[in-house]
Amino acid sequence: MISTTIAALATARGLGALNVIRLSGPDALAIAQRLFATRSPWVPRKALLGRFNRADGSELDHGLATWFQGPASFTGEDVVEFGLHGAPYIAEEAMHSLLQAGATLALPGEFTQRAFAHGKLDLAQAEAVGDLIAAESRAGHELALKQLKGSVSRKLQDLRQQLTDFAGLIELELDFVDEDVEFAQRDQLLDVLQRITTECERMFASFRQGQAIREGIPLVLLGAPNAGKSTLLNRLLRDDRALVSAVPGTTRDSVEERFRLGPFAFRLIDTAGIRATHDEVEQMGIQRSWAKLREAHIAVILVDPMASTAREAHELVERVRQENPEAELLVVLTKRDLWPGQRMDGFPEHVELGPHEDDLAELESRLLATVNRAEPEGDVLIANTRHAEALRLSLEALGRVQEQLQAQASGELVAYDLREALRHLGSITGEITADDLLGSIFSSFCIGK
Ligand SMILES: Nc1nc2c(ncn2[C@@H]2O[C@H](COP(=O)(O)OP(=O)(O)O)[C@@H](O)[C@H]2O)c(=O)[nH]1
Ligand SMILES: [Mg+2]
C-alpha cells in the first residue's frame, strides 16, 4: 500500500502564465483543504476558486483547485491539482507549504508510476506518456498516442493469450505421452508455434520503422565533393549549419541535425564527399559516410552533372544500393542554374535542384513521397528499445521451443522455454517486472509527470 502523498510542480519551471501543482495520495484532500480556502464545497472534478495560503496561514495566491477522487483519477489515488499564477516564486512557496503540510516531494515519473501501480496504465502505456511529451512530429505523436491508447498492449495481450493456449496444448500432449497420438500432435503444435513466431517476428521487425518515427528518420546526403550536399542541408534546415565552400573536401566529418518535413522528424546527415583521396582525415570522413549510409532509411544522392558523368552517377547509385539495399534512394542533379534548359539524358532518374526556392519546394515534395515509400503506414509499431529487446528474447525462447518439439524433447523442457517466452512478452506491458526495471523506466521521466 502506498501511504505517502506526493506533490510536484507539473508545469515547466520558470516564468509562465500558470503553475500547475499536483498532489496525489491518501492525504491529498486533507492537505489541500488545509491550505486552500474556498467557499465552495469540495466536489470531485469541479474546479474551485479560492485562496492558496502558506502553511502559516499567510496569503500566497488566488487560483483554482480541482479534486479528483480516487480511483477516478490519473494515478488512481485521490489527486488535487492547483492552478496558480505562473511566478516561479509562487511555485516555490506553494511547494514549500505543501511539504510542510505533510506532502512528500515526488520523484521523477512518480505520478505515472503510481498510475501503473494502480492498474490505470500498463507499462507500455506509461512509457507512451513519456514519448507523447517528447514527440516532435505528427507521426511521432500519433505513434505515442496509439501506444498510450493500448495498441501495443492489446497486440501483446493477444500474443500472450495464444502462447498460453499453446502451453495448454503442450500439457494435453504430455498426458498422452505414452500413446500413439504424439507424432501427429507434434506436427500440429509446430504449426501453431510457427504462426505465433511469425507474428512476434513481424512485431520485432516493426522496430526499424517505429524507432525511425519516434527518434527521427535517418536520411543521409551523399555525393562527390562539391556536389552541393552541405548547401542542401543548410537550405533544408533554413540555417547556416554546415560549412559551404568551393574547396572540394570541406566537409570531413559527418554533420547530423534534426529537421522536420511534413508529418515526419528526420535525422539529417551531411557527409564527407566521396572521392579517391590520399588525405588521411578525408579518407576517415569518407569511411564514415559509408557507415552513415548503412544506418540510413533514405539516401539522397547529389550529383553535379557539370562535374560528374552519367556513368559516374550510375556507379554511385549502384554502390549505394550495394551498401544499403533497404534504403530508399532519391537522386538529385544540382546547380541547375549552371546548365539552364539542358536535358540531362542518361543520368539515373532524378530531381533537378537549383538555387530557386521553387526548386527546394519541389525537392521537398519528392522527398516526402520517398519517405512515404520508406515508411509505409504500419499496423502496430514497436518504437521502444526495451520492447524490441524483450521481443528478441522471446523469439529466442520460441526458437528453442521449436527445436525441442522437433527433437521430441520432454514436455517439461518445452514448457520451460514457453514460460520464458511468455515472461519476456509480459515484461513489455509490465505484467511481469522487476522493481529495478520500473525504477529505471520512471526515473527518465521529469518530476511532476
Ligand atoms: N551555382 C550554384 N552553386 C552551388 C549550388 N549549390 C551549391 N553550390 C556551390 O557549390 C560549392 C560546393 O557546395 P557544398 O554545399 O559545400 O558542396 P558539398 O561538398 O557537396 O557539401 C559551393 O561553392 C556552393 O556555393 C547551386 O545550386 N548553384
Ligand atoms: Mg560539404
Domain that holds residue 36: 6-122
- Residue-wise pLDDT for 304-333, tens only, equals 999 999 999 999 999 999 999 999 999 999
The string over 370-379, giving b where at least 16 C-beta atoms fall within 10 Å of a residue's C-beta and e elsewhere, is bbeebbeeee
Q: Which atom of ligand 1 is nearest to the CA of 243?
A: 16
pLDDT, residue 446, reads 79
- Whose C-alpha lies nearest to ligand 1, atom 28? 335
Distance 224 CA to ligand 2 centre (A): 9
> Do 320 and 304 touch, CB atoms closer than 8 A?
no
Structural domains in the chain (count): 3
305 lines ligand 1 (CB under 6 A): no
255 is a domain residue: yes
pLDDT < 70: residue spans in the chain: 1, 173-184, 378, 434
Distance 322 CA to ligand 1 centre (A): 27
> Do 329 and 301 touch, CB atoms closer than 8 A?
yes
210 lines ligand 1 (CB under 6 A): no
Q: Which of 122, 140, 175 corresponds to the end of one domain?
A: 122
- Looking at the fold, whether 245 and 166 belong to one and the same domain comes out as no
pLDDT, residue 67, reads 98
Q: Which of 74, 102, 122 corresponds to the end of one domain?
A: 122
Q: Which of 122, 146, 170 corresponds to the end of one domain?
A: 122
- Looking at the fold, whether 340 and 233 belong to one and the same domain comes out as yes
225 lines ligand 1 (CB under 6 A): yes
* Cα(168)–Cα(189) distance, integer angstroms: 11
- Looking at the fold, whether 366 and 223 belong to one and the same domain comes out as yes
Distance 354 CA to ligand 1 centre (A): 10
Q: CATH number of the domain at 178, please.
A: 1.20.120.430
Per-residue DSSP letter, 337: G
Burial class (CB in 10 A: 0-12, 13-18, 19+), 440: exposed
pLDDT, residue 178, reads 55
Phi, psi of 431 (to 5 degrees): -65, -35
Dihedral sign for Cα atoms in the order 97, 100, 104, 105: positive
* Cα(400)–Cα(420) distance, integer angstroms: 10
Pocket mutation for ligand 1, best pick of 220, 221, 226 (most atoms within 8 Å of C-beta): 226
* Cα(131)–Cα(140) distance, integer angstroms: 8
The string over 73-89, giving b where at least 16 C-beta atoms fall within 10 Å of a residue's C-beta and e elsewhere, is bbbbbbbbbbbbbbeee
- Residue-wise pLDDT for 161-189, tens only, equals 988 888 887 777 655 555 555 555 777 78
Distance 407 CA to ligand 2 centre (A): 58
* Cα(335)–Cα(329) distance, integer angstroms: 19
Q: CATH number of the domain at 218, please.
A: 3.40.50.300
Q: Which three cell numbers stand for residue 233?
A: 542541408
Distance of CA 278 to the CA centre of its chain: 41
Burial class (CB in 10 A: 0-12, 13-18, 19+), 356: exposed
> Do 438 and 124 touch, CB atoms closer than 8 A?
no
